[in-house]
Amino acid sequence: MRVSVVGLGYLGAVHAASMASLGHEVVGVDVDAARVESLALGKSPFFEPGFDELLARAVGAGRLSVSADVAAVAGARVHFVCVGTPQAAGSGAADLSFVEAAVSSLVPHLAVGDVVVGKSTVPVGTATGLAARVEAVGATLVWNPEFLREGFAVADTLHPDRIVYGVPEGEVGRRAAALVDEVYATPLAEGTPQVVTDYATAELVKVAANSFLATKISFINAMAELCEVAGGDVTRLADAIGHDQRIGRRFLNAGLGFGGGCLPKDIRAFMARADELGAGEAVAFLGEVDAINTRRRARMVELAVEVLGGDVAGARVAVLGAAFKPDSDDVRDSPALDVAARLDGLGAHVVVHDPQAIDNARRKEPSLAYERDLEAALTGADVVLVLTEWRHYRDLDPARAAGLVARPQVLDGRGALDRDAWQAAGWTYRALGRP
């Protein structure tokens, strides 16, 4: 089927190439000319494992074309809206201007019977407003939230763990769902669970899922705070409670907490929207989830100051990791980069290493020093902070690393290192929530 994808960021670009790999004829549209140019050449504008190959194959086979002109969507029957909904300046609410602009630009090119599929994360109630504009030209809106994780974006798109549609009532909704089913025929045939519901539920599913994940992370980080004052080990605690299948061990990794372009802004937008609906109390706990998360960053800075003897001015600090998570070059709301910037603000000489995110980090925090070579980043360090759990850091040889630094002191912000091995190699090892 001919489909269009509007918005070619982490979500849209991966979605477009994935739909092409399922055999569809895909046209992708983005207002960013440089991004379009890169994608048209089959080159990814960002780092995402497996995406380069998928993109090159889709472009090479002629199944994916890209354009900066939205008129290129004409002839497609299903149009995916994949633009961002960042946090609005000066408030916790979502900035919907990109979604509004995308739908406005699409409407003049829609044909009767087309389906517009919203994938962006939006405050509940948004779809109903957009649906009226789409219906005015004889098309139908389906709300189909996306659950992909960066670092696993290709696998999550091709093999999602569920497919959710919010559709209007009656025959028009059933017809629209059936058309989108054709696009997702392959994952549906694999037995992917499907939930078809109303717009509000579909919108809420997305923010509820991200709120739950954020809460799970802040729960274990709250336990880390308790472990720190009571002398417990949060890693062992997580292992033990995780054996209860009702709780589960996944997403119970204590450390520097969550960042990225989704979890932090989604819980804030959820609180803002709930307030507007007069139900702020129902999700007021997310304010605490956010506060616990931010406190972890402050605690990491305190720990660094402590091991440096109370004065960081002039100390050389090696920060390993700038991306908000491994296998990504995304530095949006990155806990690692935040800690690096705070230590820089205290007068430390911070040297940041990351296998993929240095260019993005430099744009965001230009005053920090960056080093692409891991051993050079470690050389002469008074303290080493592991803030993103890249495999490169897990695989470090502690004995060799000890020979490079000025003082063998390591702070493990992600529970990434083998504590016994590092201590055996002469390192002072400190971690959040562990003795």
Q: Cα(135)–Cα(107) distance, rounded to whole angstroms?
A: 9
Tell me how far CA of residue 405 lies from CA of 113, 298, 317, 388, 401, in angstroms: 65, 24, 10, 19, 7
**CA-CA distances (angstroms) from residue 371 to 145, 362, 384?**
38, 11, 14
| Residue 258 touches ligand UGA, criterion: CB under 6 A | yes
Is 285 among the residues that bind ligand UGA (CB under 6 A)? no
The answer to whether 253 contacts ligand UGA (rule: CB under 6 A) is yes
Q: Which stretch binds ligand UGA (CB under 6 A): 91-99, 100-108, 257-265, 366-374?
A: 257-265
Considering the rule CB under 6 A, would residue 354 count as an interface residue with ligand UGA? no
Structure token digits, residue 406 = 């000025």
Strands (E), 298-419: 316-320, 349-353, 369-370, 383-386, 409-412
For ligand UGA, what does the binding mask look like between residues 192 and 211, x meaning CB under 6 A?
------------------x-
Cα 320 to Cα 374: distance, rounded to the nearest angstrom: 8
| 361 touches ligand UGA (CB under 6 A) | no
Strands ordered across the beta sheet of 163-166: 64-67, 25-29, 2-6, 78-81, 115-118, 140-143, 163-166, 194-197
Q: 217, 262, 337, 410: which is the annotated catalytic residue? A: 262
Binding mask 314-353 for ligand UGA (x = CB under 6 A): ----------xx----------------------------
Residue 213 lies near ligand UGA (rule: CB under 6 A): yes
Question: Does residue 355 touch ligand UGA according to CB under 6 A?
Answer: no
Residue 435, CA atoms < 13 Å, CB-side half-sphere: 6
Position 262 contacts ligand UGA (CB under 6 A)? yes
Say whether 262 is catalytic.
yes
Instruction: Looking at 231-256, list the stretches that DSSP marks H as alpha helix, in order from N- to C-terminal side.
Output: 234-242
What would the x/- binding string for ligand UGA be over residues 135 to 164, using CB under 6 A?
-----------xxxxx--------------
Contact between 3 and ligand UGA per CB under 6 A: no
Q: Which amino acid is residue 103, in one-letter code?
A: V
Interface contacts to ligand UGA, rule CB under 6 A: 121, 146-150, 210, 213, 217, 251-253, 255, 257-260, 262-263, 324-325
Q: Which residues are known to be catalytic? A: 262
